[in-house]
Structure 1
Amino acid sequence: MDTLRPADLAREHGLSTQAVRNYERDGFIPAAARTRSGYRVYTEAHAAALRAFLALVPAYGHAEAGRIMNALNAGDRESALALIDGGHLRLLRDRETLDAVRGAIGHLAAAPARFHGPPLTVGELARRLGVTAATVRNWEDAGILAPEREPGTGYRLFRDEDVRDAELAHLLRRGDYPLERIALLVRQVRTAGGTEELTVALEGWGRRLTERGLAMLDAAAQVSRYLRLAAEHGD
């Protein structure tokens, strides 16, 4: 069996030998055997474990990658696979979210009649959308809408941007989109300054999801190779 030093594992990835020792301490790679003088001795299975961990990081994040490797190195493959499955499920949900947002933004951008006029009251906005006034107030409570208040009366005043946000919320709610996620999206629209800028941001989001999916494929290959080598080395 070929043996490796910490420096051999570190050199492949441009790491320090201390980083390799830290990964061993944290259970991301199996514990090394020791020589009689106390030096660590690694095998190709350890090198494969390090490759697997480093491949898991861009796919699942550092913390989740660590939990996956902890489970694998403890012999708990079921828990490791459950964590991996959870990552794939989150990616799928993110893709569905992206598609829903793209559709909603595209619908708003293509709408022939955009609102430009004096502020609307709760009742007027509700009638425009075909919902109840209570629904509009619920959206405000959820942080989706942030209308001004009329001095003296305290009545809600929904201006152009509020109507845009309400229309976006209405579209997403028809698709059973949760209020807390709609609120997050609307905040992104406000920060971007409108739907045009958000469309550009969504393209970046789509690229990142694609990169994560490809990273998951690479990680799966590395994990599979590690498990095979670990079995051969009896780890």
Structure 2
Amino acid sequence: MAQKLKSIGRLRPVDLARGHGLSAQAVRNYEAAGILPAADRTPHGYRAYTPLHARALSAFLALVPGHGHQTAAAIMRAVNRGALEEAFRLIDGGHAQLLDDRRTLQAVEGALRDLEAGADSGPAAAAGPGGAFIGPLAARLGIRPATLRKWERAGLLRPGRDPRTGYRVYDEAGVRDARLVHQLRRGGYLLEQIAPLIDRVRAAGGLAPLEGTLRDWHGRLSARARAMLAGAAELDAYLRARG
């Protein structure tokens, strides 16, 4: 239906809406937001859209899955006011973010492989029945206790307390988290970048159940990449139609 609209002459808001599975009010809102070019008006004041508006709406809806609603809207506003360099910069930023997300995933997978390879003999093997205290754990990782405390303040570590001494004590999961943070920090990742990754490990209940999570992560990145390609094709068609 959306394809047919691109070959029809004058279109009402309801025509544009039905062709794209939207409400007429949504079409009017998109025009008011600058996502669509301003429509001409009939002598009676009604909006008169054209096939160009249909292409603009198709481009916007195709950009959303890959770039998100806010960025897709900003891209369309830039195009409609002739600021193509700004639109291209926003698109480039989306691709750069996707590449950064892929590198983050690769870093997580690498860190997890390192953890699995050193599970029995690495610098921080099992915490032991009583857990690992901060000093010995820091020594095993080759860092200072102050670094572990910094990671704790950032929400990356959640050590318990020894009931007799009040000292920090890291159970097996705590040691795992410390080792994962250490691996990612060595890879150059910032604490704020590491926090959501640690949350993923905790939500999965450890390293073993993460295989499905990682597959899903790969799938979502691939879906975004395909969506960006589809959005680029529709946007290119709109740019050609604008001339």
Shift of 1:152: 4.9
Aligned equivalents of 2:110, 2:133: Cα separation in 1:
28
Match of 1:9? 16
**Aligned twin of 2:3:** none
Residue 157 of structure 1 aligns to a residue whose secondary structure is: strand
The 5-angstrom pairing of residues 68-107 of structure 1 reads 68-107=75-114
Identical-residue share of aligned pairs (%): 54
Correspondence for 1:115:
126
Shift of 1:225: 0.9
Q: List 4+ stretches of structure 1 deviating above 3 A.
A: none
Q: How far did 1:212 drift? A: 0.6
Match of 1:155 in 2: 167
What number of residue pairs does the alignment pair up?
231
Q: Are 2:209 and 1:230 equivalent residues in the alignment?
A: no
Greater shift, 198-207 or 215-224, is seen at 198-207
Task: Return the alpha-carbon distance in structure 1 between the equivalents of residues 53 and 205 of structure 2.
Answer: 50
Aligned mate of 1:38, from 16, 39, 45:
45
The aligned counterpart of 2:57 is 50
Counterpart-to-counterpart distance in 2, 1:102 and 1:14: 40
Cα distance, 1:95 vs. partner?
0.5
* Correspondence for 1:169: 181
8 Å CA contact 1:59, 1:215 repeated in 2: yes
Matched to 2:191, the amino acid is: L
Of 199, 207, 211, the match for 1:195: 207
Instruction: Write the deviation string for residues 135-178 of structure 1: whole angstroms up to 9, x where unpaired.
Output: 22222222211111123532111111111111111111111111
Structure 1's unaligned 5+ residue stretches are none
Q: Is the 8 A contact 1:49 1:223 kept in 2?
A: yes
User: Is the 1:102–1:199 contact (alpha carbons within 8 Å) kept by the matching residues of 2?
Assistant: no
Q: Is the 8 A contact 1:105 1:199 kept in 2?
A: no
Structure 1 vs Structure 2 CA RMSD: 1.6
Unaligned runs of 5+ in 2: 1-7
Query: Contact between 1:6 and 1:21, CA under 8 Å: does it hold in 2?
Result: yes
TM-score of the pair, normalised by structure 2: 0.90
> Per-residue deviation at 1:116?
4.8
CA distance in 1, matches of 2:237, 2:199: 43
Mapped contact 2:127–2:175 kept (Cα < 8 A): no
User: Counterparts of 1:44 and 1:124 in 2: how far apart (Å)?
Assistant: 70
